[in-house]
Structure 1
Amino acid sequence: MSTPTPSPLPTTLAEWLAHCERLHPSTIDLTLERVRVVAERLALRFDCPVFTVAGTNGKGSTCAMLEAILQQSGYRTGVYTSPHLVHFEERCRINTEVIDGEALLPHFEAVEAARQGESLTYFEFTTLAILRLLSHAGLDAVVLEVGLGGRLDAVNVIDTDCAVITSIDLDHMEYLGPDRESIGREKAGIMRPGTPVIVSDPVPPASVVAHAEAIGADLWRFGQDFNYAGQQGGGGNWQQWSWAGRSKRYTGLAYPALRGANQLLNASGVLAALEALRDRLPVTAQAVRTGLALVELPGRFQIVPGQPTLVLDVAHNPHAVATLAQNLDQMGYYPRTLAVFGAMADKDSASILLRMRKMVDVWYFTDLPTARASRAADLLQCWQSLPPNESLTAPQATASCHADPMAALQAALADADPADRIVVFGSFYTVGGVLRDGTPRLAAKHLG
């Protein structure tokens, strides 16, 4: 009996990603042992300080600000974030540049060779490949964003030198637990004994503090070990702010280039993390100022120039959407706000729609290109089922359904007046659906 010929290995990034999707019956399988086994076979390790960032909201902004300040200090940086907006390669940056897909191919091959039959999910396989690429890149500092939770996330196979836990709220409850205490316990799993953990949530779950104390981590709490103060100008906008940590202080800082009411909180956690590792990665005050002034991150309250005003935001849970609503409220007056919205089926869409209802005049619900998403028709039905809002004095909002985010945006652009505002928000798929190479694919009406 002849031995079957083994299938040839994929030769392109697209082929490898398709291969990864076929390896495991589940999209998410929160166990770390399979990943740990493969990581040990790969001899995966870093010779430079590693920051690991977990939390419900603010992770991407925190990673971007860490990267920007370290870059301005002259360090060679690597960053891993997920998910991506448009292209898979966005998940990995070296010296702020998105990697070329070709650079990943040998690392996919190495993971496949080390797998030896282990069943890895798409996220686990791709995470290991990117971690291996970063570990071979001769970096001075690495920033790793946790994908889901913390304790059992594939990123947690790497021992962190400084853990950062951003705001914690209700999201992914089917995997992480029914309340903030349960979710906080999962996020706390990225901590390591004797190493700093920065908690920038002003009111963290007790489980986070308890775990830090139980394992002997060096706990830095917002409001106790570090804090910020700001001066507001006209319209409630922050003009300058100052920050104080255990032994370091910055004054007269300009507001971070990332917009939004929550960015000073994220920036505060970043400065605490940098102070905690100052002996290994010293940064200058000028690097802090310049890094915060230049930091960029698409899809986080991103305002695109043109008429009508266009806002892109990946807010996809009630806590993030509450921040989005606050940010929109501070933008000033617009005759109408039109909203393009698409979301995953596991999201609390009713709460999201309730939080946004008072400021949206026209809804454009969209299908998304994944089986995990709610259908536009389901979102419309959810919106129609909301309890009546007796406080509304404006005419009743209207809504429609669309096949994809770009079709929804085109419909909104056709309906909007130049003075109006369009908000595209929800899933990464929603915002990514109107972006191409980081630039909005918008109609001439907006660009003109």
Structure 2
Amino acid sequence: MVSQPSSASQTVPTSASPLATWLSYLEQIHSSEIDMGLERTAKVAEQLAVLRPARYVITVGGTNGKGSTVTYLEQMLKAAGYRTGVYSSPHLYRYAERVRIDGALLDDSQHSEAFAAVQAARADTSLTYFEFGTLAALWLFQQQALDVVILEVGLGGRLDAVNVVDADVAVVTSIGIDHIGFLGDNRESIGREKAGIFRAGRAAICGDPEPPISLLKQAQDLNCDWRQVGKDFSYQQQSSSWHYHSQAIQLPQLPMPQLPLANAATAIAALEALPLAVSAQAIAQGLSHARLAGRLQLLAATENRPDCLLDVAHNPHAATFLADYLKQYYPQRRFYAVVGMLADKDIEGTLAALHKPLAAQLQQWFFASLSQPRGASAAQLQSAYQQLASDTPATIHDGVEQALTTAQQLALRDATRAAERGEHDKPLVLVFGSFYTVGQVLAQQGAVD
């Protein structure tokens, strides 16, 4: 079904309009925030002639791990001397984060120019905010002589706007339960949607060691070049390095990356499937340089702030990984948890995934209301938490800023008291639950570039 434009009269921005004006316009022109389907996007993409934005295209989907996999690919290709374009979402703080060319953000004026090009091409075709942004990114890539464009799926895969472009290499990082209202409530249904980015006869990389049958079947039906972690490629961590193995190559003594190791291995497998030379040195260099704001990001303590660990984990699968990370790297640290989530997420499951393995270290929950249209209230978070029958204290706060300030004050107080007793225990403030939550903290703490 093709949705019609909003009936409200809109003043159309121009290529010279500020980016903020364009973003406000995009938020109002379509009848819904999410409108799954490719018909509208494909029609405009053909008009713009952006369906082949680079020599090669890698599309990255999955429940969790997409962002880090994209960043690994970008950094390794960059180290190998290739020109890259990246499209990812959502952004943490400002829209320009969604598009990178050769690792750099673009000026706001370039985004305005791209939006104007899409506006001219779409005529009376209604587009969502995400669809409009996807087409603008493809237009920006088309203006450059890029070797590889890396597209991150926004939601699902089969009907996501980035899927109008045929990927040379399709990557599915993991399959977990998320976006139930759009993708289904089980891994088979979700896997079927994620597999929609596969293309006949082309490479399909799977970073999930136990993929659903639906994902495997789609790859088989399309005769894809299927490569699965644990079978076609593998990795092994040692004390301060790790090894990557596949049927074609062995890479010993790779540097330990800051982002999840499993996604690093998946990214290397994707590079293997491209007909581009990437040396072991470039791979090692890319691994060392890969960073991603809001993913396992530590804001080091200052005189007025304790250590703060930020992570955008917003579903049980991601929260489980976060809990394992805390157990491994902060096994003795006490921590205070600041949480803000969207109401359509599995709130109880996400809180349980973190609480159960870390109950002994967790000192207090600080539940924050999110002001976004889909944001959960602090009371909703507390209600879900009460189902866990936990005796860990919890407080509710009107917003993320208030919750964070309170948590930091308590952590600093505890650190002072510990020092007075001759102890060196310094509590950690953990912030997670949503891109919106982490983005607000980065802005509040002055940690945004």
Which of 240-249 and 190-199 deviates more?
240-249
Does the 8 Å CA contact 1:245/1:275 hold for their aligned counterparts? no
SS at match of 1:27: coil
Equivalent positions of 1:399-410 (< 5 A) are: 399-410=394-405
Match of 1:63 among 67, 70, 73: 70
Equivalent positions of 1:296-307 (< 5 A) are: 296-306=291-301
SS at match of 1:434: helix
Shift of 1:29: 0.6
Which of 57-66 and 96-105 deviates more?
96-105
Kindly indicate whether residue 279 of structure 2 is the aligned counterpart of residue 284 of structure 1. Answer: yes
Report the equivalent of 1:368.
370
Kindly indicate whether residue 343 of structure 2 is the aligned counterpart of residue 345 of structure 1. Answer: yes
Report the equivalent of 1:382.
384
Kindly indicate whether residue 266 of structure 2 is the aligned counterpart of residue 269 of structure 1. Answer: yes
Does the 8 Å CA contact 2:401/2:444 hold for their aligned counterparts? no
Gaps of at least 5 residues in structure 2 are 1-8, 416-425
Shift of 1:205: 0.7
State TM-score, norm by structure 2: 0.90
Match of 2:171 among 161, 164, 172: 164
Shift of 1:332: 3.2
Match of 2:56 among 36, 49, 58: 49
SS at match of 1:435: helix
Q: Please list the CA deviations of residues 97-138 of structure 1 after superposition, one character each: whole Å capped at 9, or x if unmatched.
A: 122111111211111111111111111111111111112122
Q: Please list the CA deviations of residues 122-178 of structure 1 after superposition, one character each: whole Å capped at 9, or x if unmatched.
A: 111111111111121221111110000000000001111100110110000110012
Match of 1:9 among 8, 13, 38: 13
Q: Distance in 1 between matches of 2:258 and 2:343?
A: 32
Does the 8 Å CA contact 1:298/1:438 hold for their aligned counterparts? no
Q: Distance in 1 between matches of 2:446 and 2:258?
A: 18
Change (3 A) 1:167 1:39: same
Does the 8 Å CA contact 2:54/2:141 hold for their aligned counterparts? no
Equivalent positions of 1:405-424 (< 5 A) are: 405-416=400-411, 417-418=414-415, 419-424=426-431
Report the equivalent of 1:255.
256
How many positions carry a matched residue from both structures? 418
Shift of 1:387: 3.9
Shift of 1:246: 2.3
Does the 8 Å CA contact 2:55/2:147 hold for their aligned counterparts? yes
Q: Distance in 2 between matches of 1:322 and 1:68?
A: 27
Report the equivalent of 2:225.
218
Report the equivalent of 1:320.
318
Q: Please list the CA deviations of residues 341-374 of structure 1 after superposition, one character each: whole Å capped at 9, or x if unmatched.
A: 0111111111112222224221111111311011
Q: Distance in 2 between matches of 1:335 and 1:59?
A: 29
Amino acid at match of 2:287: L
Q: Distance in 2 between matches of 1:43 and 1:437?
A: 41
The structure 1 segments of at least 4 consecutive aligned residues displaced by more than 3 Å after TM superposition are 5-8, 332-335, 437-441
Which of 332-341 and 205-214 deviates more?
332-341
Q: Distance in 2 between matches of 1:323 and 1:6?
A: 44
Shift of 1:437: 9.9
SS at match of 2:354: helix
Q: Distance in 2 between matches of 1:152 and 1:335?
A: 43
Report the equivalent of 2:435.
428
Q: Please list the CA deviations of residues 237-280 of structure 1 after superposition, one character each: whole Å capped at 9, or x if unmatched.
A: xx11111122111011111132xxxx221111111111111x2x
Which of 264-273 and 311-320 deviates more?
264-273
Which of 289-298 and 38-47 deviates more?
38-47
Shift of 1:48: 1.3
Shift of 1:288: 0.6
Does the 8 Å CA contact 1:86/1:437 hold for their aligned counterparts? no
Amino acid at match of 2:44: V
Change (3 A) 1:93 1:248: same
Q: Please list the CA deviations of residues 315-345 of structure 1 after superposition, one character each: whole Å capped at 9, or x if unmatched.
A: 0000100110111111234453101101111
Does the 8 Å CA contact 2:338/2:368 hold for their aligned counterparts? yes
Amino acid at match of 1:249: Q
Shift of 1:440: 3.2
Report the equivalent of 2:141.
134
Q: Distance in 1 between matches of 2:217 and 2:157?
A: 16
Does the 8 Å CA contact 1:52/1:144 hold for their aligned counterparts? yes
Gaps of at least 5 residues in structure 1 are 234-238, 390-395, 442-448
Kindly indicate whether residue 237 of structure 2 is the aligned counterpart of residue 230 of structure 1. Answer: yes
Report the equivalent of 1:178.
185
Amino acid at match of 1:276: A
Equivalent positions of 1:85-124 (< 5 A) are: 85-124=92-131
SS at match of 1:424: strand
Instruction: Among all aligned residue pairs of Structure 1 and Structure 2, give the percentage whose two residues are the same amino acid.
Output: 46
SS at match of 1:9: coil
Change (3 A) 1:437 1:294: farther
Does the 8 Å CA contact 1:334/1:420 hold for their aligned counterparts? no
Q: Distance in 2 between matches of 1:430 and 1:168?
A: 24
Q: Distance in 2 between matches of 1:6 and 1:209?
A: 46
Does the 8 Å CA contact 2:12/2:25 hold for their aligned counterparts? no
- Alpha-carbon RMSD across the aligned residues, in angstroms, is 1.7
Amino acid at match of 2:249: K
Match of 2:37 among 31, 51, 60: 31
SS at match of 1:369: coil
Q: Please list the CA deviations of residues 16-38 of structure 1 after superposition, one character each: whole Å capped at 9, or x if unmatched.
A: 11111111111101111011111
Amino acid at match of 2:346: D
Q: Distance in 2 between matches of 1:283 and 1:122?
A: 36
Match of 1:21 among 21, 24, 27: 27
Change (3 A) 1:305 1:8: closer
Does the 8 Å CA contact 2:85/2:149 hold for their aligned counterparts? yes
Does the 8 Å CA contact 1:376/1:401 hold for their aligned counterparts? yes
Amino acid at match of 1:407: Q
Q: Distance in 2 between matches of 1:437 and 1:157?
A: 37
Shift of 1:8: 4.6
Report the equivalent of 1:240.
241
Does the 8 Å CA contact 1:339/1:363 hold for their aligned counterparts? yes
Q: Distance in 2 between matches of 1:388 and 1:141?
A: 50
Amino acid at match of 2:228: R
Q: Distance in 1 between matches of 2:256 and 2:10?
A: 57
Report the equivalent of 1:294.
289
Q: Distance in 2 between matches of 1:350 and 1:254?
A: 36
Amino acid at match of 1:33: E
